[in-house]
Amino acid sequence: MKFTFDTSKAVDRLMKILAVEGTTGKEKKIGKTIVQLLREMGVASKSIRFDNASENIPLPTETGNLIVDLPGTIPGPRILLMTHMDTVPLCAGAVPILEKNKIVTNGKTALGGDNRTGCGVLLTTVATLLEQKLPHPPITLLFTVREESGLFGARFVDLSLLKNPEFAFNFDGKFAHEITIGAVGGERWEVEITGLAAHAGVHPDHGISATMVAALAMEEIYRTGWFGKIIKDGKEGTSNVGVIGNGKGGSAGEATNVVTDYVHIRGESRSFDVKFLKTITQTYRNAFLEAGKKISNHQGKKAKVQFHSRLDYRPFHLSEKAPVVAKGLSAVEQIQRQPICRTTNGGLDANWMVAHGIPTITFGAGQNEIHTVKEWIDLNEFLHGCQLGVVLATQS
């Protein structure tokens, strides 16, 4: 299929949405801007809706996911084009600066190319379809909220509003020719260790040190090879102990002369293998519970250890022969690029879409050095992403 599209309008649109603040959980303004742009292109207002995901997300969230139905002009299976519209908190106040083939920041904030490049791809795709009256099957657009804080929009999306798409194409990444067909699953855990305070000089034996329980547990984890990058019997994963304190942003223990009575620790596990993922977390649980039994005071009293974990997102790995991947490979070839399939060690909205039963692959569209003040957008990749959007939307 041959088509051209207005690249300067595509860049203008991207500049416009980059200038609208919309950090994770605060997507109301960017949602409105996207709706306004869609209305200006001629998308009927009855086709544009926000779902009620924000009512189910366990963190304050200004608005639901934005879902748009574009009726097909030719018959065919419905496709879903998706992206997330939130940015990381470091993007607050971002001022995008257009250079020759790049968009950069003033160095004080991140830029928000993650993931306004994805929003730009979806908008330019719609604009091109409508302006050039390109024939296309029924299409659903999904702009999710709260991706950055835990993939919540995709997790709690109102599936009935998506109208049963057969395939989904997600835009969130660097290169237009890289097709992400799998991603790790993640669990988060937290442990509360409650010991007993005592004067560390006068009656140290009356105390039960929560910090020492934590230390013994972590020593066990480290010594047995379950910390950081983990390889066991051909299975791989990662783990981390991220936060140690009093659970309220303060330190665990406040004085050198008091046996520490309370420690709160948070960590995570990741793996492509959901069983191994659970094994990693279970190993942490056992280590903390066992360490709790090793330390007691003069009366034989021991610390109380409470360990909780939750699955953040499931891993997935699509076959390179899956029909959705075939569509992706063919689309990348049509824009004259050499496609490659890859997996990622980070979670994606695609993790939840696949868990919802919708085969989903993810493309990039020019993000670079995301989540840093050096973030920049490669406009060549962004425009390739836009081309890809149109090809995916029109291929049968």
- Grouping H, G, I as helix, E, B as strand and the rest as coil, residue 267 is strand
Q: Given the complex with Zn ion, which of 24 and 124 has the nearer CB atom?
A: 24
Q: In angstroms, what is the minimal distance from the CB of 39 to Zn ion?
A: 26
Q: In angstroms, what is the minimal distance from the CB of 143 to Zn ion?
A: 12
How far lies 96's CA from each of 52, 53, 99, 113, 392, in Å? 31, 30, 10, 10, 28
Max CA pair span of the chain: 84
Q: In angstroms, what is the minimal distance from the CB of 147 to Zn ion?
A: 6
d(CA 283, CA 226): 8
Q: Given the complex with Zn ion, which of 14 and 287 has the nearer CB atom?
A: 14
Torsion of CA 192, 217, 250, 190, to 10 degrees: -40
Residues that bind Zn ion (CB under 5 A): 114-115, 172
Instruction: Check if the beta carbon of residue 175 is closer than 8 Å to that of residue 354.
Output: no
Q: Hey, which residues does 362 pair with through a beta bridge?
A: 170, 180
What DSSP letter does each residue of 160-184 carry, written as one string?
A: HHHT--SEEEEE-SS-TTEEEEEE-
Instruction: Check if the beta carbon of residue 275 is closer than 8 Å to that of residue 263.
Output: no
Q: In angstroms, what is the minimal distance from the CB of 375 to Zn ion?
A: 11
Q: Given the complex with Zn ion, which of 183 and 198 has the nearer CB atom?
A: 183
Q: Given the complex with Zn ion, which of 186 and 207 has the nearer CB atom?
A: 186
Q: Going by C-beta distance under 8 Å and a sequence separation of 6 or more, which residues neighbour residue 163?
A: 69, 78, 138, 140
Q: In angstroms, what is the minimal distance from the CB of 59 to Zn ion?
A: 17
**Closest listed residue to residue 114, CA positions, set 378, 355, 322:** 378
Q: Given the complex with Zn ion, which of 154 and 221 has the nearer CB atom?
A: 154
Q: Given the complex with Zn ion, which of 157 and 217 has the nearer CB atom?
A: 157
Q: In angstroms, what is the minimal distance from the CB of 183 to Zn ion?
A: 12
